Amino acid sequence: MHHPNRLWTVPFALLCSAVLVLVGCASGGGASSSAPTAPPPHIDLTDPSTMPAQVTLPLTRRGNYLFAPSHVNGRATGDMLIDTGSTLTLIDTGTANRLQLPIVGEGETLGIAGRANFEFRSAESVTLAGVGVDHTRLAALSMRKLAGGGNLALGGIAGFTAFAGHPFTLDFPNQTLTVYRRDAFTPPPGAERHDLLSFHGLPAVVATLGGGQDVLLIIDSGANNAISLPDYCANWPRILATRASSAGQSHGVGGAIDTHQGWLRRVQVFGLQLDGVPVTFEPQPTGFISNRYVIGRIGTLALAAFQLTFDLRNRSVWITFHPEAEE
* pLDDT exceeds cutoff 50 at 17: no
Burial of 105 (0-12, 13-18, 19+ CB in 10 A): exposed
* pLDDT exceeds cutoff 60 at 34: no
Taking the C-alpha atoms of residue 78 and residue 87, their distance in angstroms, rounded to an integer, is 20
What confidence score (pLDDT) does residue 155 get?
A: 86
What confidence score (pLDDT) does residue 239 get?
A: 92
Q: Is the pLDDT higher at 68 or at 237?
A: 68
Count Cβ atoms below 10 Å from residue 13 Cβ, excluding itself. 11
> What is the rounded average pLDDT of the residues 288-311?
91
Cα 273 from chain centroid (whole Å): 22
Q: What is the pLDDT of residues 76-120, one digit of tens each?
A: 999 999 999 999 999 999 999 999 999 999 988 766 656 778 899
* pLDDT exceeds cutoff 60 at 147: yes
Percent of the chain clearing pLDDT 90 (strictly above): 60
256: pLDDT confidence band, cut at 50, 70 and 90? low
* pLDDT exceeds cutoff 70 at 12: no
31: pLDDT confidence band, cut at 50, 70 and 90? very low
N-term to C-term CA, the chain: 9
What confidence score (pLDDT) does residue 57 get?
A: 96
Answer whether 29's CB lies under 8 Å from 143's CB.
yes
Taking the C-alpha atoms of residue 267 and residue 10, their distance in angstroms, rounded to an integer, is 10
> What is the rounded average pLDDT of the residues 269-279?
93
294, HSE (Cβ side, Cα atoms, 13 Å): 20
Taking the C-alpha atoms of residue 260 and residue 271, their distance in angstroms, rounded to an integer, is 27
What confidence score (pLDDT) does residue 291 get?
A: 80
Measured CA angle at 43 (ends 37, 45), to 5 deg: 110
Answer whether 86's CB lies under 8 Å from 107's CB.
no
Domains of the chain from N-terminus onward: 8-19+188-321 (2.40.70.10), 48-184 (2.40.70.10)
Burial of 144 (0-12, 13-18, 19+ CB in 10 A): middle
Count Cβ atoms below 10 Å from residue 56 Cβ, excluding itself. 14
The H-or-E segment that residue 296 falls in is strand 294-298
Taking the C-alpha atoms of residue 164 and residue 172, their distance in angstroms, rounded to an integer, is 17
Taking the C-alpha atoms of residue 327 and residue 162, their distance in angstroms, rounded to an integer, is 32
What confidence score (pLDDT) does residue 310 get?
A: 98
DSSP β-ladder status, 103-111 and 114-121: antiparallel
What confidence score (pLDDT) does residue 145 get?
A: 67
144: pLDDT confidence band, cut at 50, 70 and 90? confident
Taking the C-alpha atoms of residue 165 and residue 161, their distance in angstroms, rounded to an integer, is 7
The pTM (predicted TM-score) of the whole model is 0.84
* pLDDT exceeds cutoff 50 at 28: no
Helices (H), the chain: 12-16, 93-98, 143-146, 300-303
Mean pLDDT of the chain: 83
What confidence score (pLDDT) does residue 33 get?
A: 38
Which residues on neighbouring strands pair with residue 169, listed in sequence order? Answer: 178, 309
Which residues on neighbouring strands pair with residue 180, listed in sequence order? Answer: 54
Q: What is the pLDDT of residues 47-71, one digit of tens each?
A: 989 999 999 999 999 988 999 999 9
CB burial string 63-98: b at 16+ within 10 A, e below = bbbbbbbbbbbbbbbbbbbbbbbbbbbbbbbebbeb
What confidence score (pLDDT) does residue 32 get?
A: 40
Radius of gyration of the chain (CA): 19
* pLDDT exceeds cutoff 70 at 298: yes
Burial of 32 (0-12, 13-18, 19+ CB in 10 A): exposed
Helix (H, G, I), strand (E, B) or coil at 225: coil
Residues 6+ positions from 277 with CB-CB distance below 8 Å: 12, 226, 227, 263, 264, 266, 267, 302
> What is the rounded average pLDDT of the residues 224-246?
85
Taking the C-alpha atoms of residue 259 and residue 277, their distance in angstroms, rounded to an integer, is 16
* pLDDT exceeds cutoff 70 at 315: yes
Taking the C-alpha atoms of residue 73 and residue 96, their distance in angstroms, rounded to an integer, is 11
> What is the rounded average pLDDT of the residues 268-293?
86
260: pLDDT confidence band, cut at 50, 70 and 90? confident
What confidence score (pLDDT) does residue 1 get?
A: 39
Q: What is the pLDDT of residues 160-215, one digit of tens each?
A: 999 999 999 999 999 999 999 999 999 999 999 999 999 989 999 999 999 899 99
What confidence score (pLDDT) does residue 327 get?
A: 42
297: pLDDT confidence band, cut at 50, 70 and 90? very high
